[in-house]
Amino acid sequence: MRRARIRLLPERWVRPWREAGRFPRVIVWVGVGITLLFVFVAIFAPFIWRYSGTAYQGIPKLASPTAQHPFGTTSINFDVFARVLYGARLALEVVGLSVAISVGIGLPLGLFAGYRGGWVDRVLVMIMDSLYAFPGLLLAIVVAAFLGRGVVNASIAISVVYIPQYFRVIRNHVISVREEVFVDAARALGARPRTIVWRYIFFNVVQSIPVIFSLNAADAIITLAALGFLGYGVNPPTPEWGQDLSRAIHDLASGVWWTALYPGLAIVLLTTGLTLVGEGLNDIINPLLRRVGLGTTAVMGAMGQGGVAVPEPGAHPSELEP
């Protein structure tokens, strides 16, 4: 007699992971491992190293990497290893907040506009398309310059760049799903629009969110570093990788390489980890698109144009005919 298993997640969410090939799952786990390493470092930074990110007393100036200072020191007597550790905390804080704001605004607006249609949909699409057409980094710089420096302001400036992406993807998925048979049946049974949107439509379009979430988080790391590099990020001397790279430019001319190398490596590693998570999830969630040779960029572009058909509840792409 088969023993019943307690399922913590719906079967339609677990099945793509089970049916995916080994390579996508390895990619996801490698990306998750790198990301969790930075999360661990950010949380336990005070216990990992004796210096804080802003400590300078008793620290030599421009000392090369040694046992006392593994990553060397800066021209203003900061320990580079400490700056990297505490910079990870700031990066995850800003990126987490900015992506949360983007999802919190873009997702409900996309659901509402896609289901409601009419003039409301046209107005929201016009606004989001205007933001989407604006170069992302330039838009973040404009918002950051208007709001000023700070963690919250930097998060808001970055979130403005990604709200249109969530809106476009969710809206176009909703347009594909709202005319499905199960939605018509819910209307016929007298379900309210709010119930239809959140109970019947939401769980059929939310599958694309993890992919966009991880890829936008990776891009947000670079955007935050760019804002800090250009002087629009957080207030100094707060540890921030882009800000440290900006100061390190003057050190490179003197042959001091360590002040630029380690913050740069931190940006590359964390971005790579989040990107691997997004790429692996895309392989798992959209196997048919990957089978015909579409990469993550093409998949997001197709979703943004409404080119991805969403299956009925419980259906999985592996059950559809190629």
| Token pair 């190629």 in the structure block, residue | 322
Q: What is the pLDDT of residue 209?
A: 82
- For residue 259, which of 71, 82, 29 has the smallest C-alpha distance? 71
Across 133-149, b (16+ Cβ under 10 Å) vs e yields eeebbebbbebbeeeeb
What is the fold, at CATH topology level, of the domain defined by 22-52+69-309?
A: MetI-like fold (1.10.3720)
If one counts every other C-beta atom within 10 angstroms of the C-beta of residue 126, the result is 9
Q: What is the pLDDT of residue 13?
A: 56
- pTM across the whole model: 0.79
Q: What is the pLDDT of residue 157?
A: 93
Q: What is the pLDDT of residue 162?
A: 92
Q: Is 278 exposed, middle or buried (0-12, 13-18, 19+ CB in 10 A)?
A: buried
Domain ranges (residues) in the chain: 22-52+69-309
Measured between alpha carbons, how far is 215 from 95 in angstroms, rounded to an integer? 11
- For residue 223, which of 132, 146, 144, 134 has the smallest C-alpha distance? 144
Q: What is the pLDDT of residue 221?
A: 93
Q: What is the pLDDT of residue 199?
A: 77
Q: What is the pLDDT of residue 3?
A: 47
Mean pLDDT in runs of 10 for the chain (322 residues)? Answer: 48 62 84 94 91 83 89 89 92 91 90 85 90 88 91 92 90 82 77 78 78 87 92 89 90 88 94 90 67 47 44 39 36
Can the peptide bond before residue 237 be classed as cis, meaning omega within 30 degrees of 0? yes
Q: What is the pLDDT of residue 298?
A: 47
User: In Å, how far are 58, 75, 92, 189, 204 from 225, measured between CA atoms?
Assistant: 28, 20, 12, 52, 35
